[in-house]
Structure 1
């Protein structure tokens, strides 16, 4: 069964659950071989790639604590975050992130090694003893596993549910961003509550489009996906997300309001450029959909004739459109992180996408309030998750 899919050079690479476990195990043992001690911190500066999961879970398995940082951070921001908690090791995505760290290396005396994932452009860096490739890290872990086959389980069993698992940056809306400390219990409890609200998550597809440094991808990519047995999917790049949606057919997605606002804007621009007939049919069908959604949100009865024309519009207009933008397979889609216009929610629900608002806090372990199906109010974030 597929645990992870990653698109590279236009081809989806698949990893089984056994592969997932092996890479995670060897990453953790590799860090242990380098000298990572229980309770020490590692920094992770990556894109949405499988190595993020291998690094985070591998580190936690041998007693480390992970801190994910945004790849868009400048060198001084990385220095500030890494030095606050005296990070011992850093997993960096590529040459760009390595160059930022090299620029502040003198101030990062507590960082013993920097491990880079993408070797592109790194050939001239190989003589730098501070740097190590991710493939070499896996090799260290594999060798240690062969020498001490029981070591990983021994370290794993030392962990406790209330140990700190991750540190994650808060939004910083009221001042300087702080670091929230979340335990393994925080993550698994929040994930289990979400799973109670989802229809048959096992084997479903989750697509990772939000930064790993955001609490949403921590809660879902690490918590819900693992606890619910969901397949993780990593797009090749932000520009290919819509195409990747169509190829994968994800079942669930949570992303920021900006994503949905941009998608709605692109749809409207394309429809305005369409022919008169297509544009007219689209306008009529969205008016029908909006009327149905408005009645449903007020819990009023939808007249029979309106249900009929809405059904016809769904088959003729909505479904082809949703398939075109890669959203035809969504059971539920969620928006959070920033306020979103009710008009955007209304638009997507009118064309048949089950888009719902949710609300949460980094300090609380993620999203704890969501709109249940059948109880959608356009200007509400819904109800708390079950206790």
Structure 2
């Protein structure tokens, strides 16, 4: 394998550290390791099985499952056999699943269980090219000749000699497409981002330098592997550097798994950090007396310490000593209780996060570094790193990438991590790639220190009836600074003024009502005291913006926004058109009779 490819790196780990743990699965109350030698063998067997099923080089292999060892085994096996793995979010509907399987031209789909299998069964007439469905767990339906259990699938490898796989491996090239990352489709059908071995491996090398990844690190894999960030952390990073992955049992088990694993590197989307924020805030509200005074002192020390250290500035000896004492008295136990006791690198990405949330964590002695990027450049474009972190920014460009702003403020990127294009979509490719520059669709600004600040997204710009262009991102972030507001959607395109749909954080709202001496009567979104309090917040948060940018009216939603209702993408980004259609009557009520 002369070419430097992902499978070449992956199999090199089996030779370099054959008995070291590659991944852990929790079974019978304990985390059970699998060695790199065994992991390599599992992938080789699965790759031969795919060849036995008729997979040809360049064909897609779709994977529809929550994070687990079989997900990564299938993806690496598909790459090794010359195929192109394509992850599908488990929250996708049968119609969305059919679209991706058909678009990827996948003859084989590997699913987690019967629940995910049924999505394909419902669409069987619209998938004439689908020849095999492999179930990772459970029995295969007896009435479907295409269906195989995981063990039946692996048994097919016996018909393919090892030499056949070696031939496939030797035919791989660094600039081959090695994976499709399907975009989450906020404005239309998902597009398949084509990433190469070269681009992914280059990005892995840069990230390893920036956050000092080593074979001794351990990560908990729990965010969807269909997303490039999780693939970089849970698959490509380990293939390059040999660190161990713990596969979370389920999303609802992540808090417990975190405490057990105590990962050294932890990545979370803003919603995850916001949930941490809410949970810790709720517990702190019950702490009084001496303990509260001790925490407030420690928190102040941590904030002062990280305000200097995160920017690479010298920390006075006295403050260093206070910080060590605060760690010993407060933070060591507190961070371990969160599952972050060993975390030396914490990162937030995939969507904007409020600066006050980052500052809150700094007060817990946890520095959360915000990253910005997209699937089209393998994940990271800019990153806050130790000694060069600025809350409220998304960091500086990673070394080796050129990042500049277009005349309209659009963020443009050029460098080794930029994608080949969109599979079977030359028009979208031509729009996104111009003269070697990736046009991100995001709007930004650099400050005097070279840190990038995201100011909005081109396709989300609101143009009011008065012709004013307004980016809703900053307005929504300001509204979400209230602990009572879980999500905010600013409305106003072609309208005379801005309004907002607000989703309550129900737990925080209930606590607030109790603290004010009010019963938490349902429906909460109509509770007069809550409506009044949020009204005061909407007015106060608007003071930092020009009058035309202030939200004049709002409506509280009766429930949270969700992926189940199609209002959020699998990575929890707003699907504005769906939201505006779903809640059209509430929106119109805010504008009825308005002058």
Q: TM (normalized to structure 2)?
A: 0.61
Q: Residues 313 and 387 of structure 2 are in contact (CA less than 8 Å); yes or no, is this contact kept in structure 1? A: no
Deviations 1:347-372 (A, max 9, x none): 22222223211111101111132112
Map 1:160-199 → 2, pairs under 5 A: 160-199=173-212
Task: Establish whether residue 110 from structure 1 lines up as the match of residue 114 from structure 2.
Answer: no
User: Which residue number in structure 1 is paired with residue 80 of structure 2?
Assistant: 61
**1:138 is the counterpart of 2:151:** no
User: Which residue of the other structure, out of 332, 335, 351, is the alignment partner of 1:322?
Assistant: 335
Q: Secondary structure at the match of 2:283?
A: helix
Q: How does 1:1-387 map to 2 (within 5 A)?
A: 1-119=20-138, 122=139, 125-141=141-157, 143-144=158-159, 148-199=161-212, 201-296=214-309, 302-387=315-400
Alignment partners' CA distance in 1, 2:291 and 2:146: 59
CA displacement at 1:385 relative to structure 2: 2.0
Structure scoring higher RCO (CA < 8 A, sep ≥ 6) equals 1
Q: Distance in 2 between matches of 1:127 and 1:29?
A: 26
Unaligned ranges ≥5, structure 2: 1-19, 401-595
* Cα distance in 2 between the residues matched to 1:295 and 1:3: 37
The structure whose residues are more often helix, as a share, is 1
Q: How many residues align?
A: 381
**Kept in 2: contact 1:170–1:363 (CA 8 A):** no
Change (3 A) 1:281 1:31: same
Which consecutive unaligned segments of at least 5 residues does structure 1 have? none
SS at match of 2:353: coil
1:298: Cα distance to partner? 6.3
**Structure-1-length-normalised TM-score:** 0.93
Deviates more, 1:287-296 or 1:349-358: 287-296
Task: Supply the distance in 2 between the matched residues of 1:296 and 1:200 (Cα, whole angstroms).
Answer: 20
Helix, strand or coil: the match of 2:328?
helix
- Do the aligned partners of 2:303 and 2:365 also contact (CA within 8 Å) in 1? no
SS in 1 for 2:380: strand
Distance in 2 (alpha carbons) for counterparts of 1:81 and 1:213? 12
**Bigger shift: residues 325-334 or 234-243:** 234-243
Q: Does the CA-based 8 Å contact 2:204-2:236 persist in structure 1? A: yes
